């Protein structure tokens, strides 16, 4: 038995090297990585520009604390603000930390505007916001809450995509609405343009903050810097992490000026936004904001969708449907196959993907993939699907 806490049941795979879209084990086996550290390694592995940024910063200064000016923070905040709806940015280390800060912003915003009684956040069923006490309360999923009661007060859930239910759930105590524009862990559900616009209207009507969790769907993954941009909606608060650091732990809270309510002493973090993180985050943004990069993500995303749709048509006893946006895609299995089993079969065939809720297989490749990688992934899916079909025929 290992000294490691058994919080995960990992695949029997340990990688020693990554290069672009591929990972390698010590014995030289090569895997096409369509998991990308769960939407983290957006520039693939060992990207030269990111490696250079990390190395050159590592030789200068790693960490100093937010007790001192960190010029890289000011620069990266300004670049993120210039590229998005945001006026202000707070840097954290993770998605959950960005969301915790967002909840504090929601409460303080209402307090500052004369409504201390408003503290509740309404979110959605099958959401995922992290594993801290408040973020498991916000996600509302029994499998994450069980054993950790009492549940942190102040979080409600309604059906994802249902504006009427959302309106009906608003009370005198509601402070904010929190939605993932594309649900990731929950099973790759894409919010409609009308839904996101409707949420904005509801928040305006009731004086609530509109908060998006773009930890997974943000930073270019859907073919725009942020997924909410497809709906032309201006949020008040957006939580970011995963892709923003390209593999270096980094998160951020982005807000409008009006929602920027945290003042000296209200909030803090030891590591958040340290010089190393800022160097790598800046390098990721250099690549993301290159001319045509988002168009590349959108067009290669369409090729991936077409490939997955082809699988659904060809193997109706294996796949139910494909769904997602850009390079955040899922394919749902029929209830004859468990997604974790199929995931293991894909691993044997040399393809890495992530499972998701609702018996979905999640594809989150690095944003730098090209058509050949899509073709290779689809081919591996076909090989595994054919094997399942043969097994089904034998059974019947």
Ligand X SMILES: *Cc1c(COP(=O)(O)O)cnc(C)c1O
Binding residues for ligand X, rule: CB under 6 A, are 94-96, 128-130, 180, 184-185, 213, 215-216, 241-242
Q: How far is the CB of 248 from ligand X (least distance, A)?
A: 12
Find the helix packing angle between 371-395 and 339-348, rounded to 10°: 120
User: Alpha-carbon distance 213 to 254, whole Å?
Assistant: 11
Q: How far is the CB of 215 from ligand X (least distance, A)?
A: 4
Q: How far is the CB of 239 from ligand X (least distance, A)?
A: 7
Contact of 157 with 127, CB cutoff 8 Å: yes
Toward ligand X, which CB reaches closer, 88 or 242?
242
Toward ligand X, which CB reaches closer, 138 or 163?
138
Show the tokens assigned to 323: 């769904």
Q: How far is the CB of 165 from ligand X (least distance, A)?
A: 20
Toward ligand X, which CB reaches closer, 37 or 307?
37
First CA to last CA distance, the chain: 41
Q: φ, ψ for residue 11 (rounded to 5)?
A: -60, 155
Toward ligand X, which CB reaches closer, 270 or 372?
270
Toward ligand X, which CB reaches closer, 215 or 360?
215
Toward ligand X, which CB reaches closer, 128 or 230?
128
User: Alpha-carbon distance 371 to 351, whole Å?
Assistant: 16
Q: Is 79 buried (19+), middle (13-18) or exposed (0-12) by CB count in 10 A?
A: middle
- Position with the least CB separation from ligand X: 95
Q: How far is the CB of 183 from ligand X (least distance, A)?
A: 8
DSSP 8-state class, residue 244: G
Q: Which residues make Cβ contacts (< 8 Å) with residue 162, sequence separation at least 6?
A: none
How much is the CA Rg of the chain, to the nearest whole Å? 21
Element (H, E) at 51: helix 48-58
Q: How far is the CB of 160 from ligand X (least distance, A)?
A: 12
């Amino acid at each position: 038995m290992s000294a490691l806490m058994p919080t995960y049941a990992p695949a029997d795979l340990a990688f020693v090297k990554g290069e672009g879209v591929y990972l390698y084990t010590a014995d030289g086996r090569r895997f096409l990585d369509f998991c990308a550290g769960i939407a983290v390694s957006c520039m693939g592995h060992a990207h030269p520009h990111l490696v250079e940024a990390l190395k050159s910063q590592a030789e200068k200064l790693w960490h100093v604390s937010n007790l001192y000016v960190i010029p890289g923070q000011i620069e990266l905040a300004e670049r993120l603000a210039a590229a998005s709806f945001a006026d202000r940015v707070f840097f954290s280390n993770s998605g959950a930390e960005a969301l915790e800060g967002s909840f504090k912003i929601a409460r303080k915003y209402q307090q500052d505007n004369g409504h201390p009684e408003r503290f509740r956040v309404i979110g959605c069923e099958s959401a995922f916001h992290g594993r801290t006490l408040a973020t498991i309360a916000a996600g509302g999923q029994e499998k994450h809450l069980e054993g950790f009661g009492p549940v942190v007060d102040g979080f409600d859930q309604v059906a994802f995509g249902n504006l009427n239910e959302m309106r009906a759930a608003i009370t005198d105590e509601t402070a904010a609405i929190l939605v993932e524009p594309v649900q990731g862990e929950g099973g790759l559900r894409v919010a409609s343009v009308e839904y996101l616009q409707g949420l904005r209207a509801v928040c305006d009507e009731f004086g609530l903050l509109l908060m998006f969790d773009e930890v997974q769907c943000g930073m270019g993954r859907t073919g725009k810097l942020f997924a909410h941009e497809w709906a032309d909606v201006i949020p008040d608060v957006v939580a970011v992490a995963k892709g923003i650091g390209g593999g270096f732990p980094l998160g951020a809270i982005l807000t409008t000026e009006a929602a920027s309510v945290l003042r000296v002493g209200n909030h803090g973090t030891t590591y958040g936004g340290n010089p190393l993180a800022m160097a790598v985050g800046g390098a990721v943004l250099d690549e993301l904001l290159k001319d045509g990069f988002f168009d590349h993500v959108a067009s290669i995303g369409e090729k991936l969708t077409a490939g997955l749709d082809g699988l659904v048509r060809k193997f109706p006893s294996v796949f139910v449907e494909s769904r997602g946006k850009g390079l955040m895609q899922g394919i749902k299995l029929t209830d004859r196959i468990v997604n974790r089993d199929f995931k293991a079969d894909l691993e044997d065939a040399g393809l890495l993907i992530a499972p998701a809720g609702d018996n979905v297989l999640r594809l989150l490749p690095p944003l730098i993939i090209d058509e050949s990688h899509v073709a290779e992934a689809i081919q591996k899916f076909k090989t595994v699907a054919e094997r399942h079909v043969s097994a089904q025929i034998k059974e019947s």
